[in-house]
Structure formats: C-alpha cells, structure tokens
Amino acid sequence: MDAPVPTPFHAGQAEPLRWGAEEVWQQLQPLLPGVSVEVVASTDSTNTRLIERARAQAGQRDAPVTRPGELRGFGDLPRAPYGRRAGDTEPCLLVAEHQTGGRGRLGRDWLGAAGASLTFSLSLPLAPRDWSGLSLAVGVALAEALDVAPPRIGLKWPNDLWILDGPGRGRKLGGILIETVPVGQRRMCIVGVGLNVLPQPAEGLTHGYACLQELDGEASAPRALAAVAAPLVQALLRFEAQGFAAFQAGFERRDLLAGLPVTTTGPEPLHGVAEGVDERGALRVRAGTLHTLVSGEVSVRLRDDTC
C-alpha cells in the first residue's frame, strides 16, 4: 500500500484529522487482497472519481454507469484492450475529507463539511447472482457497525440511515449511493457512503439532521471509518455469495417504514401501507392490492411527512 496521504489542517478544526489509513488497510487487506486506501483533502465526488478511474482502466471512457436496481443483464461485456494489467480491477477505498459535488440518489446533492461528515467510496469487482437488495444489505452492515443497544439507527428503504426519535419518526443520518461500471469481463461496483458525524445547521433540510455524536460522544470521521470499513467489505462479500436473503432479517429489525402509511413517487404513484420487503429487497406496499417496488426511480415518504 502507498503511504497514507497526509491531510491538511482545516480552519475551525481543533486539530488535523488523523485517519489511520494504514490501520484501515491492514483490516481490509485480508478480505480484499490488493486493496488500496486513499485519503484526499477535497474532491467533487468519490463515486465519480472511482467511476472515471474504472472507465480509464477499461479503455472505455463512455462505459455505461448503472445502479444495481437497473441491472437487467447486459450479455457479454466487451473485453478490455490487450495489455491491460490484472490490477485494473483491484479494489480501492477512497475517502474525502470534503466533497464539493457529492451525489445522492435520484440526482440529489449530498452536502458535507470537512470534519463534520464522513464521505467515502469503495470500488471492487462484484458478481452476485442477483443485485437486488444490495443497498439494503449495505445499510444493515453500516447500522450494525455503528449502532448501540437498544437500536437507535433505522433504515429507510432503499438507501438511507436515520436516527429514530419514535415509531416512524426520525432524522437523516446518512445515505448510500451504489453504481456499477463494466471493466473488461467484470463489473466494478462502487459503493458511496455519506454519514453525518458532528452537529451542523439543519435549516432547509426536509428530513432533519442527525449525527453520530448523538450515539457516541467521541464520534469523529476517522473513528467512524475505522468502525464501518471492514464490516462493509464483509457484507459485500457475503452478499455476493448469498444475496439479500442473508440480510433480510437484519433489515426487518430496523425497517423504518414497516406498517406505516406511505406515498410513493415514480411511474405509478401509490398511497398505501408499507408491508416490509420481500426476499429480493423489493418494497411491499398495500394499496388495495399488494404492490412490490424495486428502487429504480421510486421514492417513498410517510404520508404525514414525519419522515
């Protein structure tokens, strides 16, 4: 592994962040041989940077970027140009102290501040039989790595983490953005994670603001990274082998929407009651009849706007 990248001091910080990149790499190397861990002071989007890197390595700068919920099978992927290294699909954990153009689901912006949030992306080759439910599995892994007992972190289908204030009530703690891109005969999966770590102004935020300091008085971005990095990799490898079935019970224990009235947006908006998820991670909504929704371009909110 390259030597950890030094990170600069930011005005307003009591002291420079100490990321412990080498310690994180030591945790990940046995799970993902060849992984690199990189920390940068600032970038537009860690997902974008890793997608562009994968495209360049494949010699296909216009390779299509897809979400797991949109994957329907692409047939044979084009082969990489002759002479490409085997390391072209080696995994990478890229951490940014500050993202200037962080992206969320459905094209939304993800805002974060240096030291007050943890933003990173992990790229790795992945080949599950079924991609359905991957964002839910990632959410389960993050929540279980960060949470206290009794559980305070709930999961809002399909890709948000919330701190719970009561049944069906909470504030947004973090989000997940998963994208994939072909590299030769393999598909690189890029898992982007954004977590609020320290208190910040909540003005203008539709879903309120929650942060890890509410659960851990000593919370910091490096501390959160050390807590979630290995569990995240373990979850991705488990998902590749076993699919969403291995995570369904864990998601159900934290399902923020279950049993509550919801409204969905998308091609066919629904007004009904959420009835959990099925074995592939699709949301079940009872609106006269039972409907199942994959993530795609569907968004869900509670009908009384408490969430």
pLDDT of residue 201 exceeding 60, the answer is yes
- Tell me if 263 sits within 8 A of 149, measured CB to CB: no
- Tell me if 197 sits within 8 A of 248, measured CB to CB: no
Summarize pLDDT for 126-164 with one digit per residue, the tens.
999 999 999 999 999 999 999 977 889 999 999 999 999
Looking at residue 77, its pLDDT comes to 46
Q: Which domain holds residue 156?
A: 21-257
Between helix 221-242 and helix 134-146 the angle, nearest 10°, is 140
Considering the domain boundaries, does residue 154 fall inside one? yes
**7-11, 85-89, 233-237: which has the highest mean pLDDT?**
233-237
Looking at residue 307, its pLDDT comes to 45
Looking at residue 248, its pLDDT comes to 97
- Confidence band for 233, pLDDT divided at 50, 70 and 90: very high
Taking the C-alpha atoms of residue 243 and residue 212, their distance in angstroms, rounded to an integer, is 29
Looking at residue 5, its pLDDT comes to 36
- Total domains present in the chain: 1
Taking the C-alpha atoms of residue 230 and residue 235, their distance in angstroms, rounded to an integer, is 9
Identify the CATH number of the domain in which residue 216 sits.
3.30.930.10
pLDDT of residue 284 exceeding 70, the answer is yes
Looking at residue 104, its pLDDT comes to 55
pLDDT of residue 178 exceeding 80, the answer is yes
> Hunting for tokens 């993050």 — which residue is that?
142
Q: Give the residues across from 194 on adjacent strands.
A: 119, 175
For residues 103 and 300, which has the higher predicted lDDT (pLDDT)? 300
Compute the average pLDDT of residues 223-250: 98
- Confidence band for 15, pLDDT divided at 50, 70 and 90: low
Considering the domain boundaries, does residue 233 fall inside one? yes
For residues 167 and 44, which has the higher predicted lDDT (pLDDT)? 44
User: What HEC string does 135-196 produce?
Assistant: HHHHHHHHHHHHCCCCCCEEEECCCEEEEEEECCEEEEEEEEEEEEEEECCEEEEEEEEEEE
Residues 6+ apart with CB under 8 A from 234: 31, 141
In this structure, what are the phi and psi dihedrals at residue 115, rounded to the nearest 5 degrees? 85, -25
For residues 22 and 202, which has the higher predicted lDDT (pLDDT)? 22
Compute the average pLDDT of residues 15-27: 91
Summarize pLDDT for 74-121 with one digit per residue, the tens.
444 444 443 444 446 899 999 999 988 766 554 555 556 778 999 999
Considering the domain boundaries, does residue 6 fall inside one? no
